[in-house]
Each structure stands twice: as C-alpha cells, then as structure tokens.
C-alpha cells in the first residue's frame, strides 16, 4: 500500500483513513484511488473491523475533488475507464458491513463530496465547504453524485447544487441533511474518538445487518423492504450476539461482543 497518499491507522477495530495529499488539498488521482483499493482489500479481510472513519490530511481540506490536472488531458475512453474504476472502488467502501463515517475537515468538493456521500454519514468541522462544481469545469459529477446527492438531500436541492455549482458552508450542509452534525475543527478528533467508542460497543453483526436492511430496503418497495427487515430481524436470533446482549441486560452487566 502506498502510505504516502492514504494513511491507515487502526485501533480496537476502528480504521481511520486519511487521504494524504495536503498540498493539492487531497485531490483524488489514480494513486489515491489505487491506494484506497489496497486499503479496502485489508478492510474487507478484517473480521475485527467495527467502523471506518475517513478524513483528509491538514486543516484545510477533506478532498477538493478529483485531480483537475489529471482529468484535463483525458480522452472520453480514458474518462470512462477512470469512472469505471473509481465507481467500483467507491462501491466497495459503501458496501463495507460496518459504519463508514466521513470526518469533513475543510473543502469537500466534486469527487470529494461524492466520496463523503458514499459514506454512511458525515460530520463536518465549522470551516467545511461543500459543493459539486463540476459544471463549472464542463463536466458532470462522475463518482455517483447525480444519484447519491438527490437520495441524501432530495432532488430539488441536489439539482440546484449540481447545476449551479454553488458552494455551501457547513451550517447549510447541516440544514439540508448533507451532514449529521457540525462542530469546531478543534473538536473533530475528540468527537471521532467518542464515536469510535460508541460504535465499538455495538454488536457488530447487528450493526452490519441493520446497514444491509436499510440500504437493500431503500431499493425496494415498502412491503418487500419490510419483509426483508423481518427476515433479517429473525436472523439476529440465530447468532451469539442476541443471546449475549440480552443476557447482559438481565444480568445488569456490560455486553461483550
């Protein structure tokens, strides 16, 4: 793995990924996507994984988009190949069976915003700036933004942001539901620790099952989705976690998952 462009730290099942190109505001290039793929190989194979936190190096940017200097020279065929590879990588991140949380610590633009949208939820520092400025470069979002942004904030707001390229601050991102909470940048690390502790205390199979019920259900009609929830709920009673969680409650002790 190229540690220079993605830094992976893991403690107690909580993986912290940091995109590490601060001089280019952590812009996504082939090296970052290749490194992310390698990191995903290890995360997918990690049975003890409880959560993934994704952030950007430095105090200025989460990710300021795909690398424009790289994209500038692309032919349609190369753009299609770049899109295909990038989408496959982002889908792998999205399909991890653990919560994936974006810690947005500054500019979160274009492909960076799309990567944050592929995370289960996002938390922003108060200096964060969000936007899909692709139309100002003569392109459209290509990392899933035309699909995930409307699902997160609704089609009208998504179309406004995508067709104008307007940048919004952290508080507006909070108001439209793009992020779950906003805090001073200095508090982001402490919050990440607290979140890691909370997620590490939850039953991991149940967390993964809940994630699957939610996303798979969203792609189905309500009756099918509720039937899926019923099946997955019943499945929880076939594993050890339900026995341990309920025994711990009755015995007035902390559950050991």
Q: Is 56 in the site for ligand DAK (CB under 6 A)?
A: no
Are 129 and 116 spatial neighbours (Cβ–Cβ below 8 Å)? no
Stretch that binds ligand DAK, among 31-39, 42-50, 129-137, 198-206 (CB under 6 A): 129-137
Q: Is 255 in the site for ligand DAK (CB under 6 A)?
A: no
Q: Which of 8, 68, 176, 183 binds ligand DAK (CB under 6 A)?
A: 68
Q: Is 83 in the site for ligand DAK (CB under 6 A)?
A: yes
What are 122's strand-pairing partners? 102
Stretch that binds ligand DAK, among 104-112, 175-183, 209-217, 241-249 (CB under 6 A): 104-112
Q: Which of 168, 160, 165 is nearest to 128 (CA)?
A: 168
Q: Is 64 in the site for ligand DAK (CB under 6 A)?
A: yes
Measure the N-to-C terminal CA separation of the chain; round to a whole number of Å: 30
Are 211 and 99 spatial neighbours (Cβ–Cβ below 8 Å)? yes
Q: How far is the CB of 98 from ligand DAK (least distance, A)?
A: 25
**70-75: Cβ within 8 A, 24+ apart:** 70/29, 70/30, 71/137, 71/139
Q: Is 24 in the site for ligand DAK (CB under 6 A)?
A: yes
Q: Return d(Cα 127, Cα 8) in angstroms, integer.
A: 24
Q: Is 231 in the site for ligand DAK (CB under 6 A)?
A: no
Encoded one letter per residue, x for contact with ligand DAK by CB under 6 A and - for no contact, window 141-180 reads -xx-------------------------------------
Q: How far is the CB of 191 from ligand DAK (least distance, A)?
A: 24
Q: Return d(Cα 143, Cα 18) in angstroms, integer.
A: 19
Helix (H) / strand (E) element for 182: namely: strand 181-183
Closer CB to ligand DAK, residue 75 or residue 231? Answer: 75
What are 15's strand-pairing partners? 10, 52
Residues interacting with ligand DAK, by CB under 6 A? 24-25, 27, 64-69, 79, 82-83, 86, 107, 109-111, 133-134, 137, 139, 142-143
């Amino acid at each position: 793995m190229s540690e220079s462009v993605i830094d992976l730290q893991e403690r107690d099942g909580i993986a912290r990924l940091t995109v590490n190109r601060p001089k280019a505001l952590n812009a996504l290039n082939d090296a970052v996507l290749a490194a992310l793929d390698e990191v995903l190989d290890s995360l997918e194979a990690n049975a003890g994984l409880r959560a993934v936190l994704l952030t950007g190096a430095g105090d200025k940017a989460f990710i300021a988009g795909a690398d424009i200097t790289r994209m500038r020279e692309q032919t349609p065929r190369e753009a299609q190949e770049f899109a295909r590879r990038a989408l496959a990588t982002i889908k792998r991140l999205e399909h991890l069976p653990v919560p994936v949380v974006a810690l947005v610590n500054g500019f979160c633009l274009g492909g960076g915003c799309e990567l944050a949208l592929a995370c289960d939820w996002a938390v922003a520092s108060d200096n964060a700036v969000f936007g899909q400025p692709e139309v100002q470069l003569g392109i459209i979002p290509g990392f899933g933004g035309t699909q995930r942004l409307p699902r997160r904030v609704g089609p009208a707001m998504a179309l406004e942001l995508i067709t104008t390229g307007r940048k919004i601050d952290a508080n507006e991102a909070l108001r439209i539901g793009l992020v779950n909470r906003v805090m001073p940048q200095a508090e982001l690390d402490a919050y990440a620790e607290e979140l890691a502790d909370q997620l590490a205390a939850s039953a991991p199979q149940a967390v993964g099952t809940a994630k699957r019920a939610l996303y798979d259900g969203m792609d189905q009609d309500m009756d099918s989705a509720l039937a899926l929830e019923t099946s997955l709920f019943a499945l929880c009673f076939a594993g050890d976690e339900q026995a341990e969680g309920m025994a711990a409650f009755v015995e007035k002790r902390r559950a050991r998952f």
